[in-house]
Amino acid sequence: MGLIEVDAVSKAFWIPNERRDTVREHFLGLLRPRRFDRLQALDAVSFTLRQGETLGVMGRNGSGKSTLLKIVCGVYAPDAGKVIVRGAVTPILELGVGWNPELDAVDNILLIGSVMGLSLGELRRDMEEILAFAELERFANLKLKHYSTGMSARLGYAVAFKAVRDVLVLDEIFAVGDAGFRKRCEERYWQLHAQGHTVIVVSHDPRTIAGFCDRALLLDGGRIVMEDTGVAVADRYVSLLTSGS
């Protein structure tokens, strides 16, 4: 029995096949029905994730990686199949979603951290550590509307790493910030791994999947085309990109 079980999960989206950008196009569109194309994002995907394991997910753009993560995290419901999660999930997906741009970093940490399950006492106790991890001590009282995208992302990672529960879901975690910040993220990952946390890592970087993942999946066209060690899947992904097929 796994901590996460994904059984024959499928998900499709309906995409409009024509653009309507102008007022005239929208007005004329009222006179004729809009046509949609069906995009099969996931097609009968199955896997089991065990306690304490780190699972990598690789695939070219449009292969279904983000859709799979959002279904595991409960953001999307599958069209078919089922997902069983026997633990609390901390997703680090679209960081910055939920920030209030009119509040400063301190107030946003209290806001988002409490949503992620941390108490206000824990957040106040760890405030300096969170700001230091994100390298934002000097900007603690600056409204987030003045933050760059990178600053907001670092703040999001810093809060989420403090809020980790049973399962941590990371989307391109080691692609944010400078070398120093990435090193701190890597060190925090290994701490969580040593503590027995279960992790799902999505990345386009073969070195990340090969170096951090016990096992990995390769998605293509919404299907799992390979399941093996992180090293083997990373090598296959590079071959897939090189061949262009």
Q: Do 105 and 137 meet the contact criterion of CB atoms below 8 Å apart?
A: no
Looking at this protein, which amino acid is placed at residue 180?
G
Give the pLDDT confidence of 1-40 residue by residue, as tens digits: 789 999 999 999 988 766 656 655 555 555 566 677 888 9
What CATH number corresponds to the domain at position 206?
Answer: 3.40.50.300
- In order of 58, 120, 149, 212, 215, the CA distances from 207 in angstroms are 12, 37, 25, 8, 13
Give the pLDDT confidence of 46-55 residue by residue, as tens digits: 999 999 999 9
Q: pTM higher than 0.95 for the full model?
A: no
Residue 240's pLDDT is what? 87
Q: How many Cα atoms within 13 Å fall on the side-chain side of residue 167?
A: 23
Q: What is the mean pLDDT of residues 118-130?
A: 94
Q: What is the mean pLDDT of residues 135-140?
A: 95
Residue 104's pLDDT is what? 96
The domain total for the chain is 1
Q: How far is residue 75's CA from residue 55's CA, in Å, rounded to a whole number?
A: 20
Q: Do 117 and 199 meet the contact criterion of CB atoms below 8 Å apart?
A: no
Residue 189's pLDDT is what? 86
Assign 126 a pLDDT band (cuts: 50, 70, 90).
very high
Residue 63's pLDDT is what? 93
Residue 88's pLDDT is what? 87
Q: How far is residue 161's CA from residue 176's CA, in Å, rounded to a whole number?
A: 14
Query: What domain range is 181 assigned to?
Result: 4-243
